[in-house]
A = this chain, B = another copy of it.
């Protein structure tokens, strides 16, 4: 018995409706959670000028690769991307998932070379923000400088939350924490907080959370048996948010 939530899950601006390309930050649906936040409208126009809106990325295409020259940071317009590093012995470590309105690529600043790779998990579109222009603009617009400092600082605090999760929490807690994170990021974009489609595979989830696929799968099954979740492949419905929060919060 397969139930489809496709209608809800795909409420995202799908790349197919390209006739309505966002041509300006000023009228972008996402500008409340993206870069322009806290900028005056004439400043937004200046920012607009440096931003390049590229063609959509197909699923599994790379936005950049580890070691590439660092030129730009990117704002996700639609779709989802994952960032990952390749360890010396060739394994992957997923370091983050990026949803519409979120910025990625900032880890390349320190060495002028990307410290991780970024790959589209589904058809996605991004706004490219050339970093040198952003730097110049930042010296002229203190608000922009501050906003960008804040964005980087948030990346740090989020990484630290993941560190804590990996270091202290059980498989169940890690998975529930990720689900709640995705749920709240959906809510921020005015999408359903309880029904959504996971854009990433079980492998990616496990990799991100420091677990094997099997463990992730078992946790999903367990949560479903407990009537906290309804899982149908990548379609997720949260049936009992409170219980899910309780599980994520910490040891019972």
Contacts and interface: CB of A to CB of B under 8 A. Distances in A.
Interface of A: 85, 87-89, 91, 93, 95, 106-111, 115-116, 135-136, 138-140, 142, 145-146, 148-157, 159-160, 162-164, 166-168, 207-210, 249-251
Contact of A210 (B145, B167, B251): B167
Contacts of A209: 167
A93 B167 CA distance: 8
Copies in the complex: 2
Contact of A135 (B136, B146, B151): B146
* Shortest 7 CB-CB contacts between residues of A and residues of B: A167-B210, A109-B153, A110-B153, A159-B159, A89-B250, A110-B154, A93-B164
A232 to B, nearest CB: 27
B153 A153 contact: no
B116 A160 contact: yes
Contact of A156 (B87, B149, B156, B166): B156
Contacts of A167: 93, 166, 207-210
A93 B157 CA distance: 13
A87 B164 contact: yes
Nearest to A150: B110
Contacts of A160: 85, 93, 95, 107, 115-116, 159
Contacts of A156: 106-107, 110, 115, 152, 155-156, 159
Nearest to A166: B166
A85 B157 CA distance: 10
Contacts of A88: 249-250
A179 to B, nearest CB: 17
B87 A153 contact: no
B153 A210 contact: no
Nearest to A93: B164
B87 A163 contact: no
A140 B249 CA distance: 44
A215 to B, nearest CB: 13
Given A167-B166, A249-B88, A106 B159 contact: no
A135 B207 CA distance: 37
A219 to B, nearest CB: 16
A87 B250 contact: yes
Contacts of A138: 139, 145
Contacts of A87: 164, 168, 250
B249 A163 contact: no
